[in-house]
Structure 1
Amino acid sequence: MNRTAILFHGTGAHPDVVWLPWLRQRLTERGYTVQVPHYPGLNVEPIATFLPKLLANHSFDANTVLVGHSGGAALLLALLEHIDTRVGQAILVAGYCTPPTTEDEPVLQQDYDWAAIRAHVRDLYFINSREDPYGCDDTQGRAMFERLGGTQIVRDDGHFGDIDQPYESFELLDRLID
């Protein structure tokens, strides 16, 4: 069985920040084909024009695991709504479905087809912190959980990695991924 993991960085980030390199190595050691694409247009370009490019760059199937951090987690909502298959797992770390601050959030859609999102993922996890400095907090996780089900995990870990928050490993993610 060929298992694939696609890890999406957050807004203004890149594949070599926080726990992304660590998780890539762990999953590679476990036999996954791991993709950690760099998308500088994430949460800069409107989702309506950004998403088709993303969908054209990747393939998805029942053995695909999606992990997104912050803006990359918000991106997973649109991705899951618009793919035409069901993936194995999606883990949204510090994700959000409504603007967490007064900043513009081009990664968000105006609304979501929650039933389509749910139909396109077997296991869904939301990991949020009660103390997220960007508003990607447990209330955002709860809003997604209430619409989609799955599993909500609430921690007290800030943004799970940021410029001023080194977060070089994330053991919980390694344990959650099949």
Structure 2
Amino acid sequence: MGRNAIIFHGTGGSPDNCWYRWLAGRLATRGYAVEVPHHPGINVEPISTFLPKVLGSHTFDEDTVLVGHSGGAALLLALLEHLDVTVAQAILVAGYCTPPNAEEEPVLQPSYGWAAIREHVRDIYFVNSRTDPYGCDDRQGRAMFERLGGTQIVRDDGHFGDYDQPFERFDLLDRLIP
């Protein structure tokens, strides 16, 4: 089928936020078929009803690369747990597996099948920032890394893009995806 990538935006976001289109363009020049879907239900609709919609909206196979930012990264945990294939790579940027702050987090499942998640991804990265203003920080990345292995990368880059943090490019992600 060829290499494909799906980039999931965060809570309240859209495909036009921060570095998503830039990364999509970089991957497309390397031969990836790239999707940057708009899923306004991310972290709004309960994961139990939202996840089946996402699973039904995309095709996943052994050549798929998944990238998620913030709420989109939290979504990847549920997605990976419930896939019926093993994808090539997942990169969770500013991801989290427990509530990072006092806000409601409908994207989170009450618990995770960590073994199933591990089984459904060959290569997983957690990219978190010690200076994340929402609590999607290096401690969250460490919690996921300790359960799943992979690679944890810790930066001091805020939320890696936000309404008050322009983040037009993300060279690290471009280097992490072969």
State the TM-score, normalized to the length of structure 2.
0.99
- Give how far 1:156 is off: 0.3
Corresponding residue for residue 153 of structure 1: 153
Corresponding residue for residue 108 of structure 1: 108
- Give how far 1:150 is off: 0.2
- Give how far 1:103 is off: 0.6
Count of residues in Structure 1 that have an aligned counterpart in Structure 2: 178
Deviation beyond 3 Å, 4+ runs, structure 1: none
1:83-122 Cα distance to aligned partner (Å, 9 max, x none)? 0000000000000000000110000000000000000000
Matched to 2:58, the amino acid is: H
**Residues 1-178 of structure 1: matches in 2 within 5 Å?**
2-178=2-178
Matched to 2:158, the amino acid is: G
SS in 1 for 2:72: helix
Matched to 2:49, the amino acid is: T
- Give how far 1:59 is off: 1.0
SS in 1 for 2:169: coil
1:41-77 Cα distance to aligned partner (Å, 9 max, x none)? 1100000000000000111111000000000000000
Q: How many angstroms apart in 2 are the aligned matches of 1:27 and 1:80?
A: 21
Gaps of 5+ in 1: none
Gaps of 5+ in 2: none
Give the RMSD, CA atoms, in angstroms. 0.6
State the TM-score, normalized to the length of structure 1.
0.99
Q: How many angstroms apart in 2 are the aligned matches of 1:139 and 1:80?
A: 21
Matched to 2:109, the amino acid is: Q
SS in 2 for 1:25: helix
Q: How many angstroms apart in 1 are the aligned matches of 2:33 and 2:19?
A: 17
SS in 2 for 1:6: strand
1:125-178 Cα distance to aligned partner (Å, 9 max, x none)? 000000100000000000000000000000000000001100000000010002
User: How high is the sequence identity, in percent, across the aligned residues?
Assistant: 75
